[in-house]
Structure 1
């Protein structure tokens, strides 16, 4: 069955390539001409609007939304030429961005009023893992909805994790994960900035960390690139800035005030303010090496 994509950036584009390679018909709507050409090269067809993209869906087809935030999700669905006008009962919206749980619940509720199912399906792991099928896909929806879309979910990822039947729990789980990812990344950057201040070789230090108790996947992934000076954006600073901010807000919403999350969120905010918004979040190492106070 045809799958429609709204958004074919780093993550969405990787998923488009994966599905096309597996023989799925894919229709892509993206405003970026470069992303459009990449989707065409992968074997997808192009749609000018979200509405025209979902016009190609079958009776149980899916619209996969892979944009940045809740406002963009709402625009895809209910903006000018939005997809909701063309969606029919039996079809499903797969909601992949990292957004606040209350936004996920509100979007799903609005779709439900139209008879449209929604799968709360945030993802984690980066573009290469998405392309290889190794990303984490955290899904929350009624079991019957997940069963109807099981083949699509399996095609998107080899690591589909059913969180619950309550839409919003995928978003909650993703925020918990990304809060820890942000804390780990800030910690790794701080540790290597300290290593540099001590006169240690950063590559050797990271080799040790990776074989010791300080290891984290995101720390190794980002700090290797940072040491090499490779700040081409796979995940912009603004993404974890957004995600950690949302996670801290969600924590406060349930009366939880942890000792580390708000501090990590502030570091991403400061890096943004320092002009690093459009760089890969590996830029945190350079940011902390520049700004850490001297003894």
Structure 2
């Protein structure tokens, strides 16, 4: 699932000055889409496609999630291979690279079932090197890999207003253009090199993590200074300290609502991956590693499965 707020309203291809919508050069509509991983974000995308009349073959380890989509018109798929059977596009929306590997190339993997020329959307937030590796294997099979991590949360996925950070060949963009446009009104073509979508997502999520930790620190400080935390947040939201994720999470935290919309483990993973990617590139910033450490502390404190708003508890304890 994604943890970020509203995206921008532009599409920018790599290396050009003029915005370009993905698929604007043409491409036939994919009428049957296999989706493996129909949790918060995958389920939102499936619901979006079903509402627009697309056929969806849904696969997930949690049967209840699949059945909820079956009630909305989807067809249940017992395995990734079954989800890919007859599909003209495949969406992989799992948690990590290991799961993506298994979905695509495992014993019941989807890649061997798909016909050559089929677009495969890689949506997990994973290391760019893993995205590149998966894309190379798909390309070797004649498939069309699309590095397409997402941002915006499940409601925006359902509404079609989440952002997609797309890196792929022009051929893949053409073939999957109608699908991408159906999934989101905010498709960003960040490049032609698979892996650049993953890099963009890590940059975004590192800033989201920094903003969230900063908001938690500010609210904990306000409480320690004897201020009304809710009133202070009112001020912040109309002033220079405002951030979408800070407002969203701190509002819930101040009500004691830690029901998980985005588990602590997600930003724990994403900030770690972002700092690792920065290190490999020879870059070390002052804030990313600090934010990473706070999410690691939250997980170590037993908050891993709570909403990431729970970082306020860690900052308060400090």
Count of aligned pairs between the two proteins: 288
Partner Cα separation in structure 2 for residue 259 and residue 287 of structure 1: 20
The equivalent residue for 2:163 is 136
Asked if structure 1 preserves the Cα contact closer than 8 Å seen for 2:216 and 2:246, the reply is yes
TM-score (norm 2): 0.89
Q: How do 1:96-115 residues align onto structure 2 when only pairs under 5 Å count?
A: 96-115=123-142
The equivalent residue for 1:259 is 286
Give runs of ≥4 in structure 1 deviating > 6 Å: none
More helix by share: 1
Given candidates 240, 245, 253, the residue that maps to 1:226 is: 253
* Structure 1 segments unaligned to the other structure (5+ residues): none
Given candidates 122, 126, 135, the residue that maps to 2:149 is: 122
Given candidates 78, 82, 97, the residue that maps to 1:48 is: 78
RMSD of the TM alignment (CA)? 0.9
Partner Cα separation in structure 1 for residue 82 and residue 181 of structure 2: 26
Superimposed CA distance per residue, residues 134-166 of structure 1 (whole angstroms, 9 cap, x where no aligned partner): 211000001221011111001111100000111
- Quote the offset at 1:78 in angstroms: 1.0
Q: 1:25 aligned to 2:55?
A: yes
Asked if structure 1 preserves the Cα contact closer than 8 Å seen for 2:58 and 2:76, the reply is yes
Superimposed CA distance per residue, residues 178-208 of structure 1 (whole angstroms, 9 cap, x where no aligned partner): 0000000000011111111112112111111
Partner Cα separation in structure 2 for residue 135 and residue 50 of structure 1: 25
Given candidates 87, 90, 93, the residue that maps to 1:66 is: 93
Partner Cα separation in structure 2 for residue 14 and residue 137 of structure 1: 14
TM-score (norm 1): 0.96
Given candidates 280, 284, 295, the residue that maps to 2:311 is: 284
The equivalent residue for 2:113 is 86
The equivalent residue for 1:183 is 210
- Quote the offset at 1:50 in angstroms: 0.3
Asked if structure 2 preserves the Cα contact closer than 8 Å seen for 1:16 and 1:42, the reply is no
Asked if structure 1 preserves the Cα contact closer than 8 Å seen for 2:86 and 2:114, the reply is no
Of structures 1 and 2, the one scoring higher in RCO (CA 8 A, sep 6+) is: 2
Partner Cα separation in structure 2 for residue 74 and residue 96 of structure 1: 13
Partner Cα separation in structure 2 for residue 198 and residue 131 of structure 1: 41
